[in-house]
Structure 1
């Protein structure tokens, strides 16, 4: 590789890395506890404990559970209702002052589907884990924070690509995984930086790109609403405001009939971001580990409960839905979470060693410049 080309790639690698490193370190550190969020909730006692009841105890119907939720948060409006993947007896409810309000101002809690008892989930509304989540998602800056993190993710991918370009000719002179023990500390750290970077290469690109997509989720959802949802609810454009919603009792039955072989993941209530002012939207999931992350929305008229439409999923929504669990290693159970955590720690080492190498190189350049200046003065 020509020296001019090397300098160009080195410039790209240095500055894309430096610009994004502080943000990437923050994302890597906050991402570690988020990988084990379910386990941490159980260890800290923040996961709700359901009463011991005979096996097969029937669940209350959906409208009864909605009424229980509304009684628990009088004055708030129902936004979403979903099912706990860890416990079939658990139902989560999300409520807010308005149906379509800011998700960060909503309140989440669990309901025992057998008794209707509401149980608070502190981690979902505040505390350490919520701080980690908000820092990781938007740095408490809303959409501008998300877009800034998306840009940092793109710089991270550029830094990885430029690093590979620089590493390829370097490795022609050394065997793979060589760390030169007899060289200076800077050279040893350079070898480790390159080695760990190559080992984590594929994972870093996957996490970086899925992170960019997740950071753009608000824009993706807005596009979905404009493209698919608005087309389906066009006949309701001039309809009067919904005076009273129909009972939610049969929503699951109706949705299962509409999408055979699927199970409900969550319900968006009228006025929420994933529905319309006149509809329930029941999001149905598949029965395999992969298809359980792909959701098919069934729009049900909130007044007479007839099915208005079953929305197809555009490719960008599929990409978003699949990227979210992949970003946190939520596809393969605990072994994959441990692998994700180990790779996360290695990435922190790569980022930290990169900063160290830049600082040592800069300090050496400053020392040389001072020495040249002193020599010039003496002369």
Structure 2
């Protein structure tokens, strides 16, 4: 490809995705600090108790949630020991197959099985930021559209790299021509900041695109590995009564002793079958804590049915999610992600400014040429 071809690729891919990338950068800023914002907004936490206080039976926790919301069914139980120690988050809905946004959360003290809070569904600032960032309130079509914008952003970055090399042969690296007109100064700033954030922008763009495929990845996993694991139960009627949740989790822990429980999907929910509790286990290192291993336990007998490592495509998705938001390295990494996000906003804004100024310059040149032509014709 010629330099002009690369210029056209960079120009149009950038123009098409710029508005949406600006929206993603702005909405992504509060999401980087979602944990800190949750604590500041007064999320209920478990009261202090002596160290080593034993946990209550999870069957008692489930019963407490049902008493709190008797009209709902339990779909998931989550534990976030680092963010919310000794709290069990119980996700409930009218039906087990209700849409994800129709869920209600009950917070229960893991040690006492007492309800801490049953907040109404969050539809505030953070919810709006998350929905805009994930799917623009358009569901799967919105997610796939944002994935396409992420691909265009990646192409714009690569084409920008190609253009930057011949451009910089005429200038020292990082030079900003302050004595020239404003458009050239902003061109130099745009190029310098673009190169400075190159690796980060590629990582965030690619991982963001992968994250938009999450629903498709889940569906592939359900029809692939999950279908193999539950094949012996195909055609059997769902159980009329469920057995012990606590015993089922103990069976999963025994089968995968080097991992601990992340969350449990109840029978009939998105990540399970009508016959199983699916206990998702995670590791103890910064990397393995982001990976999940499903253990399917018969919901009637509490006997392990199967447990396997997730396939490569699910692992790719699971690893891309924390990398996208920079939430695997504590507060210092979040601050770095924020600074790089702000710089990217400047890069996107300056690129849009340069395009507008170039168009104005072109229109001015055309008007001058038309005026000269008219004067020559009149003379």
| TM-score strictly above 0.5 | yes
Q: 2:365 aligns with which of 368, 373, 379?
A: 368
- In 1, the alpha carbon distance for the partners of 2:227 and 2:6 equals 46
- In 1, the alpha carbon distance for the partners of 2:276 and 2:340 equals 43
Equivalent runs, 1:44-63 vs 2, <5 Å: 44-45=41-42, 47-63=43-59
Partner of residue 350, structure 1: 347
Q: Tell me if the contact between 1:299 and 1:311 (Cα under 8 Å) persists in the aligned partners.
A: no
SS of aligned partner of 2:220: helix
1:103 maps to 2:100 = yes
Partner of residue 241, structure 1: 238
Partner of residue 137, structure 1: 134
SS of aligned partner of 1:100: coil
| Aligned-pair CA distance for 1:43 | 1.5
1:280 maps to 2:286 = no
1:79 maps to 2:75 = yes
| Aligned-pair CA distance for 1:97 | 1.5
SS of aligned partner of 1:261: coil
Q: Tell me if the contact between 1:77 and 1:99 (Cα under 8 Å) persists in the aligned partners.
A: yes
Partner of residue 156, structure 2: 159
Q: Tell me if the contact between 1:41 and 1:123 (Cα under 8 Å) persists in the aligned partners.
A: no
Partner of residue 263, structure 2: 266
- In 2, the alpha carbon distance for the partners of 1:120 and 1:373 equals 72
1:256 maps to 2:253 = yes
- Compared CA separation, residues 331 and 156, structure 1 to 2 (3 A): same
Q: 2:324 aligns with which of 304, 320, 327?
A: 327
Q: 2:219 aligns with which of 222, 247, 251?
A: 222
Unaligned runs of 5+ in 2: none
- In 1, the alpha carbon distance for the partners of 2:162 and 2:90 equals 49
User: Which digits, 9 at most, give the CA deviation of each residue in 1:39-60, with x for residues without a partner?
Assistant: 0111222x21322333322221
Which stretch of the first structure deviates more once superposed, 90-99 or 108-117? 108-117
Partner of residue 122, structure 2: 125
- In 2, the alpha carbon distance for the partners of 1:145 and 1:225 equals 22
Q: 1:336 aligns with which of 333, 347, 372?
A: 333
- In 1, the alpha carbon distance for the partners of 2:175 and 2:236 equals 70
User: Which digits, 9 at most, give the CA deviation of each residue in 1:221-278, with x for residues without a partner?
Assistant: 1000111001111121110122111120223321111012110000011111111111
Which stretch of the first structure deviates more once superposed, 103-112 or 23-32? 103-112
1:207 maps to 2:217 = no
- In 1, the alpha carbon distance for the partners of 2:303 and 2:114 equals 30
- In 2, the alpha carbon distance for the partners of 1:340 and 1:121 equals 33
Q: Tell me if the contact between 2:79 and 2:263 (Cα under 8 Å) persists in the aligned partners.
A: yes
Q: 1:146 aligns with which of 143, 148, 154?
A: 143
Q: 1:64 aligns with which of 60, 63, 79?
A: 60
- In 2, the alpha carbon distance for the partners of 1:315 and 1:127 equals 36
Q: Tell me if the contact between 1:107 and 1:125 (Cα under 8 Å) persists in the aligned partners.
A: no
Q: Tell me if the contact between 1:180 and 1:187 (Cα under 8 Å) persists in the aligned partners.
A: yes
| Aligned-pair CA distance for 1:367 | 1.4
Q: Report how many residues are paired.
A: 375
SS of aligned partner of 1:166: helix
Partner of residue 311, structure 1: 308
Equivalent runs, 1:159-178 vs 2, <5 Å: 159-178=156-175
Which stretch of the first structure deviates more once superposed, 246-255 or 336-345? 246-255
| Aligned-pair CA distance for 1:310 | 0.5
1:298 maps to 2:295 = yes
1:43 maps to 2:40 = yes
**RMSD of aligned Cα (Å):** 1.5
- Compared CA separation, residues 314 and 123, structure 1 to 2 (3 A): farther
- In 2, the alpha carbon distance for the partners of 1:149 and 1:361 equals 27
| Aligned-pair CA distance for 1:110 | 2.1
Which stretch of the first structure deviates more once superposed, 229-238 or 200-209? 229-238
